[in-house]
Structure 1
């Protein structure tokens, strides 16, 4: 058992799931940056064991309760033939609870689906179509679930005005004396008043849906037999939101030719083919249930997510790199410049992107 958690804690947690540490093999699983995740294997069962990061998720019980509610609804939809993917169940412990507490740590066990794999990067327009179709099917299946029953896991997570206020505060305080290194970028962000106003206006009109809010391709499981998505995973940030957020995060993480911290930003470009695959896959998955306004909002979301995460990177840089893990002093600044550049590229191609989105289901 080669893991960085004390044996007493693991034993306590595994006992709650009627497992013995002596007969269980415990291995790190995945490359997530927030929670700590392991694969537990023994002669009787195999499951995912996860410690929830209580610094990010200050109310772990809300994360777990939301996931239970979502999976129960998806299960009903699956039985009705209205959801083609697999829910990922949280496993009840011997007391019938979905969470095990050990001192300050909250743990849960999650169903393991065998013969699956994850992908880190979209490689083709067809794959982009499949990714977007899976995430869209997830939200579509939850479209009749009362979103107000879910807890807001991270307050103001995709609230642009809040993120801008954080940037303005960091600029005013400049606690690490870094403003001189990025004044031009701060000014550029705060000067995007037309787009900021457009976002503020449309969120007043959009219907609230249950959204995933972390729609990276590595939050899908793919079947080895078919290479097709079989499950949406990592429901930790699922909460009430807007479809433009989920679509925008897919665009942000799939359509650039550079990683989000790539420095050679003069070479940054947007793959129209990948964007087209995402748009078609996402819109088709809703089977006509997206309103015209929601469909129009997808282009705004495509610009919004890199703009907003760029602002968050920039704010964290000014504050001294307190939130995002960094590998060198200017890492968050490089990320911010990359994402704001991506926003500008998308802005420059907005008319083309709009035409793709509005014609995606014809």
Structure 2
């Protein structure tokens, strides 16, 4: 979605909050690829204004409703000194609503926290611990919130069997004639039947939690004064899920020495110091709210997320690059090779990873 500001539409939306372009300034905020986010500045108040991408989020009202439920719960925990981070609440319109519909677009206003910054990569083990601790504190604070009260924003988002079925359909149709370029990679995915069966069995016994489902470091705000996380942001994909999903996404995005489209796979390694710090921070912050089976599942989650996103990249490549933005025709194939190789590396050192987690 374009971030180019339409003055007429923006003024209509700002009016719901008693602002306009005559008494405030507005500029794009952040580098998110899904929603369009702006910072609104005035003499007396600053806030974030966001247009939700209704192509990705088919029911934007559900995204807003989920965020409202989560932040109300976190504000209660904060008031009880049971949540050390800052909840990011949505602002009410003049008539007490938390969303604005203008034409085909849905908007919301969100609290702005000053004197903070975001990061794109984890620099060291100390920072990795902070990342895992913050996301763990978020889940721990929501551990007594009934996860089934949240709407499943993207159905079967982390359901491996569903992603494999999508891949099988893409292979069967081979609409773009690309299968010959990646047949060995497809065969590798479907050969992992022992791992696939293990995932299906775990999903039957793990307790559902409210999970963030996008636990990259850039979904944290860091204090400019302390350089520590002060808020978890981007709650759009918060849904019922398993802690292994959130931990696995942290491992996927923090523990590889290459970017997810890096092609020099012979040089790919698992950053074990970062993995150890992530595991320590996550287990520490979830002490008392995560059972022993969930803790053991972290090792599986670390392998699952790169395996699953690798399958998604591969599916999108075969289908013709409809979902993920690509910079060149082989981009999704490179990503798939990268993520599936990282899965293999993690799978090969599973005993070493298990030893790390068992010591915690």
Give the TM-score taking structure 2 as reference length. Answer: 0.99
Contact 2:3–2:36 (8 Å) recurs in 1: no
2:251 aligns with: 251
1:203 matches 2:229: no
1:92 aligns with: 92
1:329 matches 2:334: no
What is the CA distance between 1:113 and its match in structure 2?
A: 0.3
Report the Cα distance in structure 2 between the residues aligned to 1:265 and 1:21, rounded to whole angstroms. Answer: 50
1:279 aligns with: 279
Residue by residue, what CA displacement relative to the aligned partner does 1:292-345 show, whole Å, maximum 9, x if unpaired? 100000000000000000000000000000000000000000000000000001
What is the CA distance between 1:263 and its match in structure 2?
A: 1.0
Taking only aligned residues, the RMSD between alpha carbons, in angstroms, comes to 1.0
Report the Cα distance in structure 1 between the residues aligned to 2:11 and 2:316, rounded to whole angstroms. Answer: 38
Contact 2:156–2:162 (8 Å) recurs in 1: yes
Distance 1:3 1:280, change over 3 A: closer
Report the Cα distance in structure 1 between the residues aligned to 2:97 and 2:193, rounded to whole angstroms. Answer: 48
- For structure 1, list consecutive stretches of 5 or more residues without a partner in the other structure: none
Report the Cα distance in structure 2 between the residues aligned to 1:70 and 1:345, rounded to whole angstroms. Answer: 36
1:15 aligns with: 15
**How many pairs were matched up?**
359
Report the Cα distance in structure 1 between the residues aligned to 2:319 and 2:143, rounded to whole angstroms. Answer: 38
- For structure 2, list consecutive stretches of 5 or more residues without a partner in the other structure: none
1:349 aligns with: 349
1:307 aligns with: 307
Report the Cα distance in structure 2 between the residues aligned to 1:356 and 1:48, rounded to whole angstroms. Answer: 41
Report the Cα distance in structure 2 between the residues aligned to 1:101 and 1:92, rounded to whole angstroms. Answer: 13
- Structure 1's consecutive aligned runs of 4 or more residues displaced over 4 angstroms after TM superposition are none
1:177-326 alignment runs, 5 A limit:
177-326=177-326
1:50 matches 2:59: no
Report the Cα distance in structure 2 between the residues aligned to 1:49 and 1:66, rounded to whole angstroms. Answer: 18
Structure 2 residue matching 1:314: 3-state secondary structure? helix
Contact 2:24–2:42 (8 Å) recurs in 1: yes
What is the CA distance between 1:247 and its match in structure 2?
A: 0.2
What is the CA distance between 1:3 and its match in structure 2?
A: 5.6
